[in-house]
Chains A and B, each alone.
Chain A
Amino acid sequence: MAQPQDLLFSKDHEWVRVDGGSATIGITDYAQNALGDIVYVELPKVGTTIEQFGNLGVIESVKAVSDLFTPMSGEVVEINGALESDPAAVNREPYGAGWLLKVRLSKPDETKSLLSPAEYEKIAVE
C-alpha cells in the first residue's frame, strides 16, 4: 500500500495527519502488517498530556504486546472508541477507520522532526 501523501510519519511507524492546531494519529500499514492480527489497543484517557516520541500505550497482536509512541506532543482530545470492539480495523484501514487518537497539539513545529511520505517509504521497505 502506498503511503497517503497528506500524512507525516515517525521512525516508530506512526502517522499523523495535522489539521490546524490538532492532529489525528495512527500506525502505518507497514506496522499493522508486521504486527499481524491486532486484538487489543490500550490508549491514554482523554485529557492526558503526551510528549513527542513518548509512550502512548500498547497495541497487541495475537502473539505479542508492542509499545505505541506518539509522533507529536499535545493533549488527547479523542480516542477511537470503535477499536474496543473492533481492533482489527487497524489491520483493515490503518489510515482510515483504524486511527488511534486525536491530539490538540502543544508544539505544532514538531512536524519538522517527522518524515515525509517519501522518506518514510525508505524506512518501511527495509
Chain B
Amino acid sequence: MRRTALYDEHVEAGGRIVPFGGFEMPVQYAGILKEHDAVRHRAGLFDLSHMGQFWLTGEMVAPWADTLTINAVGTMKPQQARYNIFCNEDGGAHDDTIFYRLESGWLLVVNAANADKMWKLLNERRPPHGVDLENRHGRRALIAIQGPRSAEMLQPHVDVDLAAMRYYFCAEGRVEGVPAVLARTGYTGEDGFELFLDGTDASMIWNALLRAHRSEGLEPCGLGARDVLRLEAGMPLYGHELTETITPIQAGLKWALKLEKPEFVGKAALEEQLALDRYSRIVGLVMEGRAPAREGYPVWFDGRITGSVRSGSIAPSVENKNIATALVAPEAAALGTALEVEIRGKKHAATLVGLPFYKRPK
C-alpha cells in the first residue's frame, strides 16, 4: 500500500485511513456529512494525490490520443481541460480521464485504480515517434479546493487571476511561490480548483491553505464526502457507472462522444449500440423510504428484476433523501418510472429521475 505526500497530515488531523486505489487515503475527518456541508456552502480541501498523473509531450500527442479516446483532443486550445474516455474495442471504458493542455505538454489525469492499466496501455499504443510519456503517479501531488468560496480563499495564495479562469480551463502558475498547474475542475458539483504540484511541496501548501481559511469554514475532506458530492452531481465513478462493460453511451455520457472523429478505439461498437438503441442504461433513482439503496441491490420493474444499483447514498443536497444510480433495461428507463429496490429481501419504492440530482445555484 502506498502513501501520498500528505499522509502524515491526514493522520495528524484525525483522518480515518482506508485503502483506496492502492493508497492509504482518508475516508473522512470530522464526518462525511459535515465535510459535505462545508463543500456545498463554504469550501473543502481534498488530497487526490492517489490519482494517476501522466505527462505527455511531442508533436503527435493530440492526433495519437484522438485515436484512443471518444472525445476530441486535437481541438483543445492551450489552457483548456477536457473530460475524455478511453474505450476498449467493444465500447466499454478502460478509464475516464481529464486532459489538461498546457503550453509545454499535456497532463493526463487517470483514476488511481486504473493508473497501472492506463500506463501500460499508453506505452503499448505509443507511436514510434512524436509522443513522450512520463509517469508522475505518486510523485506529483493533487490538492483540490472545492466549494462556493474556493476562489476567494485560494486567490491570495496564487499568482494567477482566478476570476479570469473559466470552468474547465487551467494555467501554469505558482501557489505559495512554488510551481503548480492550476485548473478550474473538480468532482463535487461545486465551483473549485485543482492544484497539481510536486509532492515535496504538498504539505506546505495544504497547511498554508488550512491555516489561513479554517476559521472561515474550510474543512479537510475525505473520499467519503467526495463520493456523496459526485453522486449528487450525477458524475460517474469508474467501476460503478462506467466499467470495461458499461459503455459511455450506457452511462449517459453521449455528450463526450465525438462520432465525427474519423477513427478511434471502440467507435464501431458505440455506433452500433446507438443505432440499435436496445442497451441497458444508467438512471437516477430517488428512494421513497428511509432505507438506503446500496451497490448491487436488485432493481424491479413490472414484476421482474430489470437491473441493479451501481451507487447509492443519502443525499443531503436532495432533501436528505436516499438517491442511487442503477443500470436498468431500456423499457424501465423512462423518466418518472416507478421502480422498486430490493433491500434485504424487501422491495422499497423508488422513482426514476433525471441526472444530475443536484445542480449548484448559479
Report which A residues bind B (CB closer than 8 A): 36-37, 39-40, 42, 58, 60-63, 65, 84, 87
Contacts and interface: CB of A to CB of B under 8 A. Distances in A.
The interface centre, meaning the residue of A36, A58, A63, A87 with most chain B CB atoms within 10 A of its CB, is: A63
B33 interface: yes
Contact of A36 (B28, B292, B294): B28
Interface of B: 16, 27-28, 31-33, 224, 227-228, 290-292, 294, 313-314, 344
19 contacts: A36-B28, A36-B224, A37-B31, A37-B33, A39-B314, A40-B290, A40-B291, A40-B292, A40-B314, A42-B291, A62-B32, A62-B224, A62-B313, A63-B32, A63-B227, A65-B292, A65-B294, A84-B290, A87-B290
A39 B28 contact: no
A42 B28 CA distance: 24
Contacts of B344: 42, 58
Nearest to A58: B344
A31 to B, nearest CB: 14
A40 B227 CA distance: 18
Contact of A39 (B16, B27, B292): B292
A4 to B, nearest CB: 23
Nearest to B227: A63
Given A62-B228, A63-B224, A36 B290 contact: no
Given A36-B31, A40-B292, A62-B32, 20 more contacts: A36-B28, A37-B32, A37-B33, A39-B292, A39-B314, A40-B290, A40-B291, A40-B314, A42-B291, A58-B344, A60-B292, A61-B32, A62-B33, A62-B313, A62-B314, A63-B27, A63-B32, A63-B224, A65-B292, A87-B290
Nearest to A85: B290
Contacts of B31: 36-37
Contacts of A84: 290
A84 B290 CA distance: 8
B316 to A, nearest CB: 9
Contacts of B291: 40, 42
B201 to A, nearest CB: 31
A58 B224 CA distance: 20
A39 B344 CA distance: 17
Nearest to B36: A62
A81 to B, nearest CB: 12
Contacts of B292: 39-40, 60, 65
Contacts of B16: 36
